[in-house]
Structure 1
């Protein structure tokens, strides 16, 4: 049985002139200990589908699904209070912009201790000790001092490590990482990805990695799901996807990789026509 199962999820947003569909009949499954990469260009519904699963979309969004379950528990039938026992504890998420995700008015130590006290029920002293342990685990230098630092006093890479520390604080069974390296330079990107994969291997948690970087996918994923304009185009294990992509959109994505260039210019994915959804 899959750890997370989503079947036929649709997300619509109300606007002043009507509504639009951001996610159109998406299916997502991830098994225990598996690394699933969800890939596609901006606007393909990658982040929205996972935010919908987390219950983090605004009131303007309407989410429907035939099934949304976590380890056999029906998320659709749960009350908000029941769902909060899972979201933020057993399922956690790292967001795209680390500095924007942290409150500038509080120290990073206060913020991670708040997570531990609320979601793990730790005392103030125990939360501080656990926060220090987590900062060491994710490789934040001088952790005692960094607990006292505000987000603007830390680099982007350090702030992302804080976000990772928060996400793993409750020993989640599923971690969703939404473009975790977008705002970071290339060197720091590799460090963050290496850290995520090391933590995933150590803890055995499942990992959903949302990205548009096919190079990252090749290095990290067990299985890949390709999305385009809110629909799933293709799903395959990582070797099959790179060696024998079956959908023209996937082939277009792969042909745009620099190493696959055959001339002076890279092919553009933007010229790709509306695809037919594969059965």
Structure 2
């Protein structure tokens, strides 16, 4: 049985001129101990699809699906109270911008310990010990002292590690990492990716890696879902995606990678296919 099963997921938003459809008819599954990469250009609906699964979209969003099941439980019929118990404990998410996601008014230690209090019911002493343990696990130096720091007192890489510590605090069965290395320098990017892969291997959790970086996909993923303008273009194993992509958009996406470019001008996807026709007919 798949850990997460999504069938025909669609998401639209109310606007002043009608409804904007951000995700259209997405099917997706992820298993325990599997890394699923969700790739595509900015605005392709990657993050929206996962936020819909988490129930974290604003009231202007309408989410529809034929199936949304986690670990055998139907999330479409689940009560709000049951969903709140599930999200943050069994399903957790690392958001794109760690500094923006952390509350600037509270120490990082308070924010981490709050998760342990709400979801696990730990006492003050237990929370403190577990928080130090988590900071050690994600490689934050001098963890006991760092618990008293505010987000603005930490670097981008350290804030990302705090976000990872919060996300794994309750040992989730599924972790969604939304562009976890965005805005970090190359050395820190590798450290964060290595950390995530080690945590995934050690705990056996399922991992969904949302990214537009095909290098990250090649290093981490077992399977890949390729999205464009809210639709799924292709799904395949990572080797198949790179060696024998079937969909024209996937081939164009790979052909437009800077490291494969030749000549004086970087190519774009639209150089290879009619993207407007693709969006209308996919």
- TM-score tier (shorter): over 0.9
Shift of residue 83, structure 1, vs aligned partner: 1.2
In the alignment, what sits opposite 1:156? 156
Residue in 2 that maps onto 1:17: 17
SS in 1 for 2:187: helix
* C-alpha distance after superposition, 1:143-164 (max 9, x if no partner): 1111010000000000000000
Query: Any conservation in 1 of the 2:30–2:36 contact (CA below 8 Å)?
Result: yes
Residues 131-178 of structure 1: per-residue CA shift (max 9 Å, x gap): 000000000011111101000000000000000000000000000000
Q: Any idea what SS the aligned residue of 1:275 has?
A: helix
Return the match for 1:275 from 274, 278, 282: 278
Question: Hey, what does 2:93 align to over in structure 1?
Answer: 93
- Runs in 1 of length 4+ with deviation above 4 angstroms? 276-279
Answering whether residue 70 of structure 2 is matched by residue 50 of structure 1, we say no
Structure-1 residue corresponding to 2:2: 2
| Aligned pairs (5 A) from 1:152-191 | 152-191=152-191
Q: CA deviation at 1:264?
A: 2.9
Q: Is the 8 A contact 2:33 2:205 kept in 1?
A: yes
Is the CA contact 1:231–1:277 (under 8 Å) kept in the aligned structure 2?
A: no
Q: Which runs of 5+ in 1 are unaligned?
A: none
Matches within 5 A, 1:1-279: 1-271=1-271, 272=273, 273=275, 274-275=277-278
User: Residues 48-104 of structure 1, C-alpha deviation per residue, up to 9 Å, x if partnerless?
Assistant: 000000000000000000000001110001010011121110000000000000000
CA deviation string 1:231-253 (max 9, x = no partner): 00000000000000001111111
SS in 2 for 1:193: helix
1:177 aligned counterpart, secondary structure: strand
Structure 2 length as normaliser, TM-score?
0.96
Distance 1:70 1:190 in 2: 30
Q: State the TM-score, normalizing by the size of structure 1.
A: 0.97
1:120 to partner: Cα distance? 1.1
What displacement does 1:44 show?
Answer: 0.4
Question: Shift of the alpha carbon at 1:266?
Answer: 2.4
Q: Is the 8 A contact 1:233 1:278 kept in 2?
A: no
Determine the C-alpha separation between the residues in 1 that align with 2:266 and 2:177. 28
Cα distance in 1 for partners of 2:239, 2:91 equals 27
**Structure with more helix by fraction:** 2
- Which residues of structure 2 form unaligned runs of 5+? none
2:228–2:279 Cα contact (<8 Å) kept: no
CA distance in 2, matches of 1:257, 1:58: 34
Q: Distance in 2 between matches of 1:96 and 1:231?
A: 21
Q: Using the alignment, how far apart are the partners of 2:73 and 2:227 within structure 1?
A: 26
CA, structure 1 residues 98+153, in 2 after alignment: closer, same or farther (shift >3 Å)? same
**Aligned residues: CA RMSD:** 1.4
Q: Is the 8 A contact 2:229 2:279 kept in 1?
A: no
Report the CA distance between 1:277 and its aligned residue. Answer: 8.9
- CA shift, 1:256, in A, is 1.5
Return the alpha-carbon distance in structure 1 between the equivalents of residues 232 and 67 of structure 2. Answer: 16
